[in-house]
Structure 1
Amino acid sequence: MLAMPARLLLALIAVTPMTIHAKDTWTTPAEASAFRTTPSYAETQAFLRRLARAAPDTIRIETFGTTPEGRPMTVVIAARDGDLTPERARAAGKPIVLLQAGIHPGEIEGKDAGLMLLRDFARMNRLPHLLDHSVLVYIPVYSVDGHENSGPYFRINQNGPAEMGFRGQSQYLNLNRDYVKADAPETRAWLALWNTWRPDLLIDIHTTDGADYQYDLTWYAEDPHKLPPSVAAWQKAAYQEGAIPAYERLGHLAAPYLEFRDGRDITKGIGNFGSGPRFSTGYAAIRNRAGLLIETHMLKSYEVRVRAVYDVVRSVLDQVNKDPAALLKASREADSWAASLSAKPGATLPVTFKEDPTPKPFTLKGYAFTQTRSDISGDLWVRYDPATTKNYAIQSWNDLLPDVAAPLPAAWAIPAQWTNVIERLDAHGIPYTRTATAIRVSVDADQLSQPTWADKPFEGHHMLRDAAISTVKEEIELPAGTVIVRSDNADAVLSLNLLDARAPDSMLRWGYLNAIFEPKEYGEPRVVEALARKMIAEDPSLKTAFEARLESDPAFAASPRARLAFFFERSPWYTAQKVGAYPVLRLDDTTLKTLDATAPAKAGT
């Protein structure tokens, strides 16, 4: 008989159910059902509370928020030596790892793997040294209302469990698009938790959709261009050189996140899925922290997926445990890097990124597939054959390059009336002051024109897709109470992504400031008819421009409204309304020093 290959033997061990003895009172609900089902939130909490009672020195449970439907949001803290508070963790020099499951509740492996991991750490002595040198902050179910809205008909693409939670929370918001705009109560509770613990690493557990392939897990980390240098270096060493190879040695197959350029033909290569600050790892990046997205494979059995999460989280925590100082150093240097950015004259920071045009070769461990022209959709119907493994030599366009850069001023000034924006500063914990008296200063102001909006609502917002931006230097009066957000601190990158008009997840782009594009005063057509003739008489070049527009733009020529607007929008009756004037202003270092000297600010609230 031929010897079994080591990888296959390890894989069989990894997916073989543990023998469950009647006396084993620490069997998790998913294990007890042979992974056919996943427990309710009440059952999950009951298991965790029992574990905390049995191991009070290593496990503590807290409530950190309440969902819109009134359910408590639970977080579990696990550590050695009683280091179960942020103060104790920092005093002990232990990095803090935030592990979250169920932000999309149908993708719930992280919950069941977490119960097993905590059990094996705190009670079964299987992983006794897992948290010798770090502290785990674990959210078993992030979207609790979505988790409890479960049924058999969510996630049509997925192989179990028998019932799955709903992707949105109870207000139909996708929490993994809400990190910056922070609309949901759950997000605001999460941000408060983040600001309390200030974790060094965020791990977010999901289940993928898409093609079929051999990997039981894919993973994603933000491109180095999006990160502080110290965090980029730590992630490369910790994931590519440490945790992922260790995970594969446990019998698994893993790959970087597989975003296929053409879902009908996997041989056309993969690209970057375009994460940004609205996503978990993108948000961690603008908080100067490491992040790791885990995606189990939807078509593998639920047991395989749960055990894959168990082993990859174990491998990452082992990596942290080996050199906790390296992660702490990366975080510390990242904060210093962010705080120093604005000190450079003319400082800018990229806020959008584009695909590196030079691909890299990638071997995809997939399955044979066929493409059949469908008489239903009229498109290609792709079918995979999991019985036939096949490797494909393809190209990867996963790497990114900086694209649009935004200026990084000494500070931003926000007039007090823009409460929507200021409330988001509070939600994110961004420090600011308010001017105690009015003061006249020089500012850089952005004037926005030619706005275009998305065709349909997204996550409850009508998003601004794009606008032309021109910058002017102005002398203006900042009223008393104006909010001043400085950039000489660790929150500089976060602040810029919320406040700059160029940032794709800014408050402007999410539609919180759409009103600035709406003129409130209009001219009657009979009045503008006379105004147009007066303007032409005073400026003949205006007549030339008008006639050129008539010639080049048939839609304009056919619209009486547009033709009159051509003149009204060039008149002082329109410009006095300051349509498109972006209210977030930029202050340079000289102006900020003047403000500090002549109009001392008071702490913001």
Structure 2
Amino acid sequence: MMALAGTGLLAGWPETVPERTHLQRTSTVAEVRAFMEDLRQRAPGLEPYRPKGAPRATETGKPLLAWRLKGKGPDPLRVYVNANIHAGEVEGKEAIQQIIRELLQGKHPALRRNLDLVVMPAYNADGTDALDPAIRPWQPNPSESGVGRRENALGLDLNRDLMKAAAPNTRWLLAMLQDFDPAAVLDLHTTNGSTHGFHLTHGPACTLGADEPLLAFNRKLLVEVREQLKAEGMPTYDYGNFVPYGPTPEKPPTAWETYDAHPRLLTNYPALRNRLAVLSESYVYRSWPDRISDTRRFVLACLGWMAEHRGEIRAQIREAQARWVGAWAKGPVTLPLSAKLKLVERAAFDWVDPIRDEKGRLTGEKGRTHLELPSFVGFEGQDFVTAPAGYLVDPAFAPTVLPLLQAHGLKVLKGDARPGGLAVLHFQETGRKVSPSAYQGVFTLELQGSWKAEPVLKKLQQVWAPADLDRALYIPLDQPLGRLAFYLLDPRSTDSLAYWGLFHSALIRGNGMWGEPPRFPILAVGPAASPAPASTSTSARLPEPRTQE
């Protein structure tokens, strides 16, 4: 048996698949289940976890399996750890199995006492079992099994699905966030980009429109973990890539940029719920056992920080929630429709000039260049608009939209419960862009415009009658998840239900659609209309970097 660094196996305890196969294989869904069930027989405390009302399986029938290890102390902090959302990035799946074993063995007593953990080692269950040695050949992989597929069986990237929630996996996660309500979420990945020389990169939630002090606290968590690991000989930094991407000696790096501010990403989404999140990205060019070991060390360091600061974490969450509620008592609330990268610091980097084999794997280094670069690892909002009191959704779309809003945990009322004395506002479109190619199976729709008191009607367009308003879905924004409701329902949001195609039958009319035009399916309810933002062109919206995990 070849033990992985740091695992500390004890006699009689089960081995992970890499351990018992001498690193030749990674685990399948069934093997993860067998390992975790074996742990349950060895020590008390570990139990299967199923959120209330959550799907039990993927589209193909693969089980969605999670386990809960409750803290032994009087007031443990709830934390969720997610792995294998991209099933070609298997290190987190193996590392979290090791960590749970160590906790049951009596190691890390402070974590065992002060944290209440739910873990899902094989989130993308379909991709987990679709093992193939030809996948991700540029990273050193288990030679016998290879690794799994990035996307699920329907071709969806589950790490872009948090808002539209098209996959059972995502609806499972949304149910968990309501049922278990973790204070923090960890999502475990492996990079596929720059040769930066760090053992692991990481990121806090960088979410568009989230509570800024909470985002700053989220960053503080990771800066302090980074310094701890640096002192222990493990270099880490914020996730990102060099600019230009794929630098050469002729065009060396000039900056470092992080990923994306959209809440569609699992690391970003919790911030719209006033919760913390951590992205872990092991370095793709390190050996497979090193990537598992690095992920294990990083997760343990994060969990240790959370256990030690659990009172402060809870206070920060309470204050973020209070700020949102208090904002509505002070006057109009504004939120950004887009974000731009922000210079946070200048930082030291090693740029590795690699030697690669025929599969693209890094087999050596021509050299390293030490650089100090501007580091754009944060975002600032732009294109701010005034948020309405709430939104009305056409009752014709209720069968599709209501279950999705409820899955997100939003309070949804009948239209006749909207506050009296506030105008019903109509969206006046000034521009649009339908994507030229499908993204996540959707030809996405970007809309520009503003809310006005009077509609601009096309000939024979269906109108909103008073009875329609009363039958509509009303979603107020002064609820705890009001930020989330804004980005789901404002048609200008590039993560809205309109963007993701839920209203395409009404909003995109082709030559073959000969009927009278339908009405716009979303209305806003007061306050007074605000002008269109100064910059809402496609170029002003943050593009998604191609290498984000």
Q: Give the direction of change, closer, same or farther, for the CA distance of 1:249–1:61 in structure 2 (3 Å limit).
A: farther
Could you tell me the TM-score, scaled by structure 1's length?
0.76
Counterpart-to-counterpart distance in 2, 1:523 and 1:491: 37
How far apart are 1:219 and its partner, in Å? 0.5
Instruction: Provide runs of 4+ in structure 1 moved above 4 Å.
Output: 14-21, 381-385, 436-441, 518-524
| CA displacement, residues 523-553 of structure 1 (integer Å, 9 cap, x when unaligned) | 99xxxxxxxxxxxxxxxxxxxxxxxxxxxxx
Which residue, 505, 526, 545 being the options, matches 1:588? 526
Structure 2 partner of 1:150: 131
List per-residue Cα deviations over 1:112-156 (Å, max 9, x = no partner). 111111111112x33222232121111111010110111111113
Q: CA deviation at 1:204?
A: 0.3
Q: Are 2:374 and 1:395 aligned?
A: yes
Matched, 1:37 2:25: yes
Query: Hey, what does 1:455 align to over in structure 2?
Result: 436
* Superimposed CA distance per residue, residues 278-313 of structure 1 (whole angstroms, 9 cap, x where no aligned partner): 101121121111111110011101111111111111
Give the TM-score of the pair, scaled to structure 2.
Answer: 0.84
Rounded to whole Å, the distance in 2 between the matches of 1:269 and 1:189 is: 38
Cα distance in 1 for partners of 2:523, 2:192 equals: 42
**Local SS of the residue matching 2:198:** coil
Q: Structure 2 CA distance, aligned partners of 1:135 and 1:589?
A: 42
* Per-residue deviation, 1:496: 0.3
Q: In the superposition, relative to structure 1, how do residues 182 and 224 fare at CA in structure 2: closer, same or farther (>3 Å)?
A: closer
Give distance in 1, aligned partners of 2:513 and 2:48: 63
Measured against aligned partners, the alpha-carbon deviations of 1:294-350 in whole angstroms (never above 9, x if no partner) come to 100111011111111111111111111112111111222222223333334332111
Pick aligned residue for 1:315 from 289, 301, 307: 301
1:423 corresponds to 2:403: yes
- 2:236 aligned to 246, 251, 254, which one? 254
- The structural deviation recorded for 1:26 is 3.1
Worse-matched range after superposition: 486-495 or 23-32: 23-32
Among 409, 412, 426, which residue is 1:445 paired with? 426
Shift of residue 275 of structure 1?
A: 3.4
Q: Is residue 2:339 matched to residue 1:353?
A: yes
2:497 counterpart of 1:510: no
Change (3 A) 1:354 1:409: same
SS of the equivalent of 1:494 reads helix
Take 2:509 and 2:355, find their aligned partners in 1: how far apart are those partners? 56
Contiguous gaps of at least 5 residues in structure 2: 456-463, 530-549
State the distance in 2 between where 1:172 and 1:276 align: 20
The answer for the alignment partner of 2:148 in structure 1 is 165
Aligned to 1:408: 387
Q: Displacement of 1:440 after TM fit?
A: 10
Task: Quote how far apart the aligned CAs of 1:43 are.
Answer: 1.3
Instruction: Return 5+ residue gaps in structure 1 as ranges.
Output: 1-13, 84-91, 372-380, 525-573, 592-605
Q: CA RMSD in A?
A: 3.1
CA distance in 2 between counterparts of 1:340 and 1:589 reads 17
What displacement does 1:382 show?
12
Query: What secondary structure, in the 3-state scheme, does the structure 1 residue paired with 2:27 have?
Result: coil
Distance 2:178 2:217 in 1: 22
Q: Which range moved further: 339-348 or 478-487?
A: 339-348
**Identity level (%):** 23
Q: Which has the higher helix share?
A: 1
Determine the C-alpha separation between the residues in 2 that align with 1:288 and 1:238: 15
Report matched runs for 1:512-591 at 5 Å. Answer: 512-518=502-508, 582-588=520-526
**Corresponding residue pairs, total:** 503
The corresponding residue for 1:138 is 119
Question: Quick one: structure 1 residues 15 and 450, their matched pair in 2 at CA, closer, same or farther if it must change by over 3 Å?
Answer: same
Instruction: Give 1:351 deviation, angstroms.
Output: 3.0
Of 93, 96, 99 in structure 1, the residue corresponding to residue 78 of structure 2 is 96
Tell me: CA distance 1:49–1:20, structure 2 relative to 1, closer, same or farther (3 Å). closer
Larger Cα-atom Rg = 1
Aligned to 2:199: 216
Kindly indicate whether the alpha-carbon contact (under 8 Å) linking 1:339 and 1:491 is maintained by their aligned counterparts in 2. no
Structure 1 residues 61-210: aligned runs within 5 Å: 61-64=48-51, 65-81=56-72, 92-123=74-105, 125-162=106-143, 163-210=146-193
Matches within 5 A, 1:286-305: 286-305=272-291
Farther-moved stretch of structure 1 (428-437 vs 92-101)? 428-437
Q: Is the 8 A contact 1:448 1:582 kept in 2?
A: no
Question: Partner residue of 1:362?
Answer: 347
Aligned equivalents of 1:437 and 1:164: distance in 2?
52
Structure 1 CA distance for aligned equivalents of residues 201 and 229 of structure 2: 12
1:519–1:226 Cα change, 3 Å: closer
